[in-house]
Structures are given as structure tokens and as C-alpha cells.
Structure 1
Amino acid sequence: MATYDPLRDLERFANTFFETGRRGPRQMPMDLYKDGDHYVLTADLPGIDPGSVDVDVDGQLLTIRAERTLTAGEGVKWITREREAGSFLRQLSLGQGIDTERIAATYRNGVLSVTIPVSEKAKPRKVEISTETDSPVIQAHETEKHAVES
């Protein structure tokens, strides 16, 4: 026997009402971390066809788009529907020091992974310090002045 919970029903109604009126793309949950000389972005996209996932780089702007469609036969009466269908969008400003030519992405088990490498110019490097013995020595010579006797 199911118990009646008016707050749960009110929450479902509010979610349905506000989600139905929602327009535009939804955000996807993501994580971002640095691993050595590259960043890794992972985004949850469960139930999304890999063919609908699009990753673009325009200058320093990374854009991820995806589309989820939920199919149901005609005459289906939904009892509950909590999975969202529609467009998903996430944009990140990459900033300087990123090698945009080598960004790579994989989609596996509903998770999109984007590897964002740091450019060679932005990687830390060791600066060699020269010492006096290593550097050329500049010597000054005095010129002798001869007095002319008359």
C-alpha cells in the first residue's frame, strides 16, 4: 500500500511545471582537473546518442553540445517522467596557454572526456643561469700618451 505524500506530489508538479516551461539548452554536470601537462574535462551525458555530441573550439572558446531524445510509442501514458529530453550546452573560456590544435574527445559509457593540452610555450621550463666564468670577459686597455718634446 502506497502512502500519500502531498509534498512529494507538489514537488513533482512544480518540477513538471517549471521544466515544461523551460526553453533553451540545459547544462550538463562536469568536472575539470589538471593532470600533468593537460587538463581533463568530464561531462555526464547518459542516454545521449554519441552522434549528437558536438565539441567545437572557436578561438579560446570550447563549446559542447548534445541532444537527448526520448522515444515512446503512440498512445503511451506516462506514469512518471524524470529524464530530461532536449538540448544540452556547456561553454568554457580556455584562456591563454592552451594548445587548441591538440584537443581530443572520447565518449564512453555516457561520459564525455575532453583532453585539453597545455601549449609548449606555457609549460614550465628551466632557465639556465650563466656565471662570470661562462660569460665573455670584456677587458679595457689604457692607451699610453707620449709627450712630444720640442
Structure 2
Amino acid sequence: MTMNFDPFRELDRLAGSLLGAAGPRSMPMDLYRTGDHYVLDVDLPGIDPGSVDIDVDGSVLTIRAERTLGAPEGSQWITRERQPGTFVRQLTLGDGLDAARITAGYDNGVLSITIPVKESAKPRKIAVSVGGGQEQLAVGAGSADE
């Protein structure tokens, strides 16, 4: 039997065990805008939804979740890649977002957070007055043929 030695694999394993135990873990996410709100999808497989904590402090949105894994009594781990522990992600919210109306849901291991855009930050039409304010044109309205 031929054994291949990979020094980087052992180094990665060692660094992961040392750094992973030092603090909270992060979680992968997707962020996109649709209409007048942003949607943040965060992968949290194996997480009890009751352990998820979302809070906003000033302009910082913090997501915390806890994963607990157990083995039946008397069992011996052969490999353990799904690490238990605390997962934390912090995001800074811009001024144009409405933190008071944030909503969240959890389905199939994905936490979805909806962050609305403030009314004052939404695009709007500005009327342009012509000839000292007697006639108004709506910028962006109509076509060039009108």
C-alpha cells in the first residue's frame, strides 16, 4: 500500500483545530437586493432555530447561532468534521436601511433576513420647473415623442 504524505493537509488540520477553538465561527451568506429591500440568506445547517439570536445595536446587525452535536453514550468518534459551537456574523447597516422593520425566517437550514430600504432612501421622481415655475416637466416620465 502506498501512502502519500501531504504536509499542507496536516498543517491545515492543525491550524484549523487551533484557530477554530479560539473563537466563534463565521457562516457563509448571500446578500441581494430585490425591489425595496435586501435579502440576506445565511447557511446554518444543523442549527436549532431556537438558538438563533439576531440583534441590531446602532448600525451593527449581529447574528449568533449555536450548534450542539452529541454522540450516543459509549460511542467513539472516528471522524468529526461538523464542529459544534457558536457561530457569529456581524454586518454594518447603511444609513438608508430601516433597521426597525427587519424580519427573519428559518427554513431548511437557511436563515433569511429581510432588510427594508427606508422610504427616504428609495428612488423618487423630481419635478423640474420651466420658465420661472409656470410649467413643470416630470423628469424620467413619458417618451421623447410626447
Task: Assess same fold via TM > 0.5.
Answer: yes
2:100 is paired with a residue of what secondary structure? helix
Alpha-carbon distance in structure 1 between the residues aligned to 2:61 and 2:103: 12
Distance across 2 between alignment mates of 1:74 and 1:88: 26
Q: For 1:106, what is the secondary structure of its paired residue? A: strand
TM-score (normalised: structure 1): 0.79
Provide the residue aligned with 1:142 in structure 2.
none
Bigger Rg, which one: 1
Distance 2:90 2:102 in 1: 15
Structure 1, residues 85-131: CA drift from partner, whole Å, max 9, x if none? Answer: 10000000001111111100000000000000100000010011223
Percent identical among aligned pairs is 58
Tell me, yes or no, if structure 1 residue 11 matches structure 2 residue 9: yes
Task: Point out 4+ residue stretches in structure 1 off by more than 6 angstroms.
Answer: none
Tell me how large the CA RMSD over aligned residues is: 2.4
- The alpha-carbon distance between structure 1 residues 95 and 40, as it changes in their structure 2 partners (threshold 3 A), is same
Q: Higher strand fraction: Structure 1 or Structure 2?
A: 2
User: How many Å separate the matches in 2 of 1:48 and 1:12?
Assistant: 28
Task: State the Cα distance separating 1:16 from its structure 2 match.
Answer: 5.7
Q: In structure 1, what is the Cα distance between the partners aligned to 2:109 and 2:10?
A: 26
**Gap regions ≥5 residues in structure 2:** 136-146
Consecutive unaligned residues of structure 1, counting only runs of 5 or more, are 137-150
Matched residue of 1:130: which SS? Answer: strand
Specify the SS of the correspondent of 2:40: strand
